[in-house]
């Protein structure tokens, strides 16, 4: 009897040791990267970000190279795990063979959290690579918000949101700060406006209108991304998660009234502000985000 107790005690001690070791591993520096395509170095036209075109092969290669530069920066800053979420279009743009061998890829769509799939409270920081300015921004490469053909604007608690803001609030929901944004000068400006002055921004191009830009030389752009990530992770202790106050009031402006009709007819608790603007309130941000996506998905293309 006594011997059984001793054996049980020993097994208990062993499992506590294993649990502690596992906890220590979990305490490593995990970095989450969401990578879009319009703000990638070299990209100035939708042909470069749409599969089935002659130029797409270049676009996806550049996308992998920008994100690999970010992974290098994260590893140099001590990252123990880097997760990369392909966040553009089909979300199958990055060829897994082209991704940094130390990074874990999330590929394909649809995903419950879309551009932020895979994030949770175990991550120390979030990087947004290749992002673009919100719909209606002047001198911004391929400006849009989630869907060019459907969305005219999105506001949350009165703040007009680029995708970077909507997604930073998802990271914030899990207590993870967005510490770096890369893209053109316009999205960098909007990152500062939404997230505050501490966020590190890396501009890889400056737009003349929507479809042309002066490019930072490609090697230099990637050096800037690597250096930016190191700088951002170096000041991680003072970076704060982006949190809006609940209840969350969402406002979705469509291009035409027929697009607003479907959501207003089919979803409960959604109201109309005017013929082409819907509004709803959510207590939980993720629930609100899901309703927002449903309203965008229901809308017929213009």
Least Å distance, CB 299 to Zn ion, is 18
Q: Which stretch binds Zn ion (CB under 5 A): 69-77, 81-89, 96-104, 133-141?
A: 81-89
- Distance separating alpha carbons of residues 184 and 190, to the nearest angstrom: 10
Q: Which of 88, 100, 205, 230 binds Zn ion (CB under 5 A)?
A: 88
Q: Which stretch binds Zn ion (CB under 5 A): 35-43, 69-77, 133-141, 239-247?
A: 35-43
Least Å distance, CB 49 to Zn ion, is 6
By C-beta, is 91 or 169 nearer to Zn ion?
A: 91
Question: Which residue is nearest to Zn ion, using beta carbons?
Answer: 88
Q: Which stretch binds Zn ion (CB under 5 A): 82-90, 183-191, 196-204, 264-272?
A: 82-90
Is 184 a binder of Zn ion (CB under 5 A)?
Answer: no
Residue in the block written with tokens 């061998």: 101
Is 66 a binder of Zn ion (CB under 5 A)?
Answer: no
Q: Which of 33, 36, 119, 296 binds Zn ion (CB under 5 A)?
A: 36
- Distance separating alpha carbons of residues 50 and 60, to the nearest angstrom: 9
Q: Which stretch binds Zn ion (CB under 5 A): 65-73, 87-95, 168-176, 294-302?
A: 87-95
- Whether 144 sits among the annotated catalytic residues: the reply is yes
The size of the interface with Zn ion (CB under 5 A), counted in residues, is 3
In degrees and rounded to multiples of 5, residue 83 shows phi and psi of -110, 130
Least Å distance, CB 290 to Zn ion, is 20
Residue of 88, 100, 132, 144 with catalytic role: 144
By C-beta, is 185 or 248 nearer to Zn ion?
A: 185
Q: Which stretch binds Zn ion (CB under 5 A): 1-9, 36-44, 145-153, 285-293?
A: 36-44
Pairing of strands 125-131, 30-35: parallel
By C-beta, is 66 or 261 nearer to Zn ion?
A: 66
- Distance separating alpha carbons of residues 183 and 133, to the nearest angstrom: 9
Sheet of 151-156: strand order equals 159-160, 151-156, 248-254, 277-282, 271-274
Count the residues in the chain.
302
By C-beta, is 88 or 222 nearer to Zn ion?
A: 88
Cα Rg of the chain (Å, integer):
21
Which of 121, 118, 91, 88 is CA-nearest to residue 107? 91
Is 60 a binder of Zn ion (CB under 5 A)?
Answer: no
Is 30 a binder of Zn ion (CB under 5 A)?
Answer: no
By C-beta, is 36 or 72 nearer to Zn ion?
A: 36
By C-beta, is 126 or 282 nearer to Zn ion?
A: 126
Least Å distance, CB 36 to Zn ion, is 4
List of residues contacting Zn ion (CB under 5 A): 36-37, 88
**Catalytic (active-site) positions:** 144
């Amino acid at each position: 009897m006594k011997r059984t107790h001793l054996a049980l005690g020993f097994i208990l001690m062993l499992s506590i040791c294993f649990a502690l070791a596992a906890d220590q591993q979990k305490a490593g520096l995990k970095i989450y990267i969401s990578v879009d395509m319009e703000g990638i170095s070299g990209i100035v036209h939708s042909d470069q970000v749409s599969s089935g075109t002659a130029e797409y092969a270049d676009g996806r290669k550049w996308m992998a190279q920008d994100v690999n530069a970010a992974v290098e920066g994260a590893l140099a800053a001590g990252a123990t795990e880097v997760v990369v979420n392909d966040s553009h279009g089909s979300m199958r743009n990055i060829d897994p063979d082209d991704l940094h061998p130390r990074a874990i890829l999330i590929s394909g769509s649809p995903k419950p959290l879309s551009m932020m799939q895979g994030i949770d409270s175990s991550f120390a920081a979030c990087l947004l690579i290749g992002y673009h300015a919100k719909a209606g921004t002047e001198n911004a490469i391929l400006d849009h918000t989630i869907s060019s053909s459907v969305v005219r604007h999105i506001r949350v608690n009165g703040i007009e949101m680029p995708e970077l803001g909507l997604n930073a609030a998802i990271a914030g929901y899990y207590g993870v700060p967005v510490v770096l944004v890369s893209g053109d000068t316009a999205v960098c400006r909007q990152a500062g406006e939404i997230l505050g002055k501490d966020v590190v921004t890396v501009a890889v191009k400056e737009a003349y209108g929507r479809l042309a830009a002066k490019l930072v030389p490609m090697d230099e752009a990637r050096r800037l991304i690597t250096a930016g990530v190191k700088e951002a992770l170096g000041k991680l202790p003072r970076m704060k998660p982006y949190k809006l106050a609940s209840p969350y009031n969402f406002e979705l402006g469509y291009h035409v009234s027929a697009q607003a009709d479907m959501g207003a007819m089919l979803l409960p608790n959604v109201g109309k502000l005017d013929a082409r603007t819907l509004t709803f309130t959510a207590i939980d941000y993720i629930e609100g985000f899901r309703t927002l996506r449903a309203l965008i998905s229901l809308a017929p293309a213009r």
